[in-house]
């Protein structure tokens, strides 16, 4: 039968059906086929269908978006170096009218998804009955969704597998069939369906997989593309060529059986070796960045943002972004490996027949997608010494020895039923740098990393959490958390203006405050290590993050003064109540806020707001918006250059010999500045630091605040992430240390404001307070003399 004869037959069948309403024609065909069933069953079925029609049909959504389907140009987001980071819009595809879709592609899709498409009225009752019988036989999910039902689901319904959703899917399919022609429905399907690799619709898929126009695909290539809708991840030829080829060959057979291709074409298609397009770029995980840009553009252009073909060019550097993403994930996973194993994500029944295991695993893992390099797997064999598991790709892996340490409790004979790793368990696996497989789990802990240029405010990298697909909350911009000790530099900055110097001696002795002084309840603060070391210079106290010293400094200058001062850095006064707890960072900040604030120290005292969008163009390249870097002049100055400089020397000491000494030791350069932060009970850990050319802030904690662990600190958790980013960002960047500005003098190796040199500043604070086990007054004076030399 020729293609024109086939088309004539289809059109004739469609015309016959249009003489009746779509749902009535479908019901009549269903009744004819079910005539052999018992009368009681038929009556029951009719009653159920009747009730469903009466109750649900009037509540079905309007389908105007289908009858007036207009492709719209998406918003596209690019990095500063022109790497595509994301697309937003109702259509992310190369829309192709049905008349321009080659017949071979249509035939392949019909053979794969719905061979009776031109014969049924939206619901293939034969297929439904067949799937029901199969489900009763082996309890595995069977499809029976027609192309029309898939259109209904993709446009209007969720993907959850419930009886109610299936009823709505059937009814909506019947409604669609009554309003649209078969060709219109097929056109919608072939432009709408997701096909993996960011491809929506077969025209986009042809270009992404084969680098071809859809009109140029061969029978073998069309069959491969037609195999993707069933499971884009499982049958992706780039990710799983073996399974994809099996699916492709099945579709070629179906095309031959349906009379769409000749025997010669069938043999040639089976013999053709497919050549896939080389993936020229590595995917950059910038989902949080792209979403932040989308929100900014939407605020300006509203719904038109998704239809005008806007191109958004960001300040983000793709390479920096990629490193930031990996660094944060590595930091969070390293922490997760130290946590108690919480058990498999699910358990599935595996068939006894080894030939059926691959398909069952692929089906099960469809509900547990891979999380980048954190892969989902189904356990085939488990013992305390060895675990064998299968991945979504069909590959099997074996984990032994060290690879089982993170899940030891789950492999114990005493493990509870919800914790035990056994055959059929869905687990997570990763491969380390040596290629060794190890079992782990999806982290519950979250994090954030943001880096920006302190002179321009340009955001260079932004990672808002462990995984955007898992949690879309952007912790860089939305997470208001306590900054802990990373906030202390802003208190010290205020103190410098009040007469404090790096050599001011402050007593690290116990303190107790009543409710009137704290604003809430009595408070007896502690140092992180639980020790009190007595009098010490201010610069030493900051390097060692001594809480008692910070509190005494704040009490000396006054909480109200400090609250007013921190506004210079962009902090909101109401989020930092004027109580002594402010000295320990008890207020609320976001990581982006902290990055901008530390940028004031880094750029010499200028307040520069963060910038994400460099320029915006329309689909023809016309520039609609361009952001020019600010000029650092006195109109932007918020802090004296000498204050920023002296604070820089204090922050540099922290990375040289203090709580962040690992920074200079690892990166082998002196021009690094920053402060660790760990809040009360280790609920939030931070590192905020900078090089004169780049500020970066890292935060790690739980969304619902809880203890990270007694030994977890900003220096241990957040600092390594910061170092990994800086190792990349500062490669080949020469050492850059600032020139001392006017108004400062070096006294004994410490920089001091001119007017506070020669003993004219505050010499000491709190020396009258007793430290348990401290030396007597004579011994203490001898120690102070050493500090002053």
Query: What is the spatial distance between Cα 387 and Cα 403, in angstroms, rounded to a whole number?
Result: 9
Task: Answer yes or no: 113 catalytic.
Answer: yes
**Which of the residues 113, 169, 177, 446 is marked catalytic?**
113
Residue 411 in tokens: 């492999």
CB of 117 closer than 8 Å to CB of 258: no
Query: What is the spatial distance between Cα 317 and Cα 102, in angstroms, rounded to a whole number?
Result: 40
Q: Which of 198, 181, 209, 195 is nearest to 99 (CA)?
A: 181
- Angle ∠(772,776,780) on CA atoms, nearest 5: 100
Residues 6+ apart with CB under 8 A from 248: 220, 223, 224, 227, 237
Only one residue has tokens 């898992």, namely 470
What secondary structure, in 3-state letters, does 591-634 show? Answer: HHHHHHHHHHHHCCCECCCCECEEEEECCCCCEEEECCCCCCCH
Query: What is the spatial distance between Cα 498 and Cα 552, in angstroms, rounded to a whole number?
Result: 14
In sequence order, what DSSP letters do the residues of 316-385 get, joined into one string? --HHHHHHHHHHHHHHHHHHHTTSPP---SEE-PPPSSHHHHHHHHHHHHTTS--BTTBEEEEEEEEETT
Give the helix, strand, coil percentages of the chain, each rounded to 5. 45, 15, 40
**Which of the residues 204, 305, 485, 682 is marked catalytic?**
485
Burial of 353 (0-12, 13-18, 19+ CB in 10 A): exposed
CB of 165 closer than 8 Å to CB of 157: yes
Residues 6+ apart with CB under 8 A from 777: none
Q: Which of 305, 323, 304, 299 is nearest to 87 (CA)?
A: 305
CB of 171 closer than 8 Å to CB of 57: yes
The catalytic residues are 113, 485
């Amino acid at each position: 039968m020729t293609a024109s004869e086939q088309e004539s037959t289809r059109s004739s069948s469609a015309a016959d059906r249009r003489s009746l309403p779509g749902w009535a024609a479908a019901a009549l065909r269903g009744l004819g086929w079910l005539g052999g069933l018992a009368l009681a069953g038929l009556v029951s079925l009719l009653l159920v269908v009747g009730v469903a029609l009466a109750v649900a049909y009037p509540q079905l959504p309007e389908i105007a978006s289908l009858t007036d389907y207009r492709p719209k140009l998406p918003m596209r987001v690019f990095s500063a170096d022109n790497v595509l980071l994301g697309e937003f819009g109702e259509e992310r595809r190369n829309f192709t009218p049905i008349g321009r879709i080659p017949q071979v592609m249509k035939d392949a899709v019909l053979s794969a998804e719905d061979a009776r498409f031109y014969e049924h009225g939206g619901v293939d009752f034969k297929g439904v009955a067949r799937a029901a019988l199969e489900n009763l036989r082996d309890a595995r999910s069977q499809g029976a969704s027609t192309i029309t039902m898939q259109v209904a689901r993709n446009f209007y319904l969720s993907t959850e597998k419930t009886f109610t959703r299936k009823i709505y899917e059937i009814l909506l399919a019947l409604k669609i069939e009554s309003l649209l022609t078969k060709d219109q429905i097929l056109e919608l399907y072939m432009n709408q369906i997701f096909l993996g690799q960011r491809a929506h619709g077969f025209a986009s898929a042809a270009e992404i997989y084969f680098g071809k126009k859809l009109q140029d695909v061969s029978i073998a290539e069309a069959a491969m593309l037609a195999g993707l809708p069933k499971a884009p991840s499982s049958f992706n030829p780039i990710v799983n060529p073996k399974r994809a080829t099996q699916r492709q060959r099945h579709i070629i057979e179906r095309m031959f059986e349906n009379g769409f291709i000749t025997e010669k074409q069938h043999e040639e298609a089976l013999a053709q070796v497919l050549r896939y397009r080389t993936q020229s770029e590595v995917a950059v995980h910038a989902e949080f960045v792209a979403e932040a840009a989308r929100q900014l553009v939407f605020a300006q252009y509203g719904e038109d943002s998704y239809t005008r073909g806007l191109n958004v060019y960001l300040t983000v550097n793709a390479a920096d972004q990629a490193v930031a993403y990996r660094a944060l994930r590595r930091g969070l996973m390293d922490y997760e490996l130290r946590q108690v194993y919480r058990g498999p994500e699910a358990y599935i029944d595996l068939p006894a027949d080894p030939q059926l295991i691959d398909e069952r695993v692929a089906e099960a893992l469809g509900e547990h997608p891979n999380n980048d390099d954190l892969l989902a797997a189904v356990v085939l064999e488990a013992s305390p010494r060895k675990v064998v598991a299968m991945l979504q790709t069909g590959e099997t892996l074996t984990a032994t020895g060290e690879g089982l340490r993170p899940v030891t409790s789950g492999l114990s004979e005493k493990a509870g039923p919800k914790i035990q790793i056994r055959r059929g368990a869905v687990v997570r696996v990763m491969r380390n740098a040596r290629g060794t497989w190890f079992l782990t789990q999806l982290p519950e802990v979250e994090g954030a990393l943001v880096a920006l240029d302190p002179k321009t405010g340009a955001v260079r990298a932004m990672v808002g959490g462990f995984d955007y697909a898992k949690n879309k909350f952007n912790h860089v911009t939305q997470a208001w958390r306590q900054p802990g000790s990373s906030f202390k530099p802003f208190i010290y900055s205020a103190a410098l203006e009040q007469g404090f110097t790096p050599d001011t001696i402050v007593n690290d002795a116990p303190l107790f405050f009543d409710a009137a002084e704290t604003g809430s309840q009595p408070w007896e603060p502690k140092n992180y290590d639980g020790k009190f070391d007595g009098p010490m210079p201010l610069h030493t106290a900051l390097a060692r993050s001594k809480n008692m010293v910070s509190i005494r400094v704040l009490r000396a200058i006054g909480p109200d003064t400090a609250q007013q001062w921190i506004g210079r850095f962009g902090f909101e006064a109401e989020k930092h109540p004027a109580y002594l707890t402010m000295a320990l960072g008890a207020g609320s900040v976001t990581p982006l806020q902290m990055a901008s604030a530390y940028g004031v120290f880094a750029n010499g005292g200028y307040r520069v707001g963060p910038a994400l969008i460099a320029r915006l163009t329309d689909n023809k390249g016309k520039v609609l918006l361009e952001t020019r870097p600010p000029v650092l002049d006195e109109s932007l100055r918020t802090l004296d250059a000498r204050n920023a400089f002296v604070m820089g020397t204090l922050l540099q000491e922290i990375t040289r010999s203090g709580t962040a000494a690992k920074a200079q030791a690892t990166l082998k350069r002196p021009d690094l500045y920053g402060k660790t932060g760990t809040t009360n009970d280790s609920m939030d850990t931070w590192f905020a630091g900078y090089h004169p050319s780049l500020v970066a802030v890292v935060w790690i904690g739980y969304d619902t605040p809880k203890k990270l662990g007694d030994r977890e600190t900003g220096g241990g958790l957040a600092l390594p992430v910061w170092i990994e980013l800086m190792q990349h960002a500062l490669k080949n960047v020469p050492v850059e240390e600032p020139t001392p500005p006017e108004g400062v003098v070096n006294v004994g190796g410490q920089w001091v404001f001119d007017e506070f040199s020669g003993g004219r500043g505050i010499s000491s604070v709190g020396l009258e307070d007793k430290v348990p086990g401290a030396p007597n007054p004579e011994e203490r004076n001898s120690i102070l003399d050493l500090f002053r030399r």
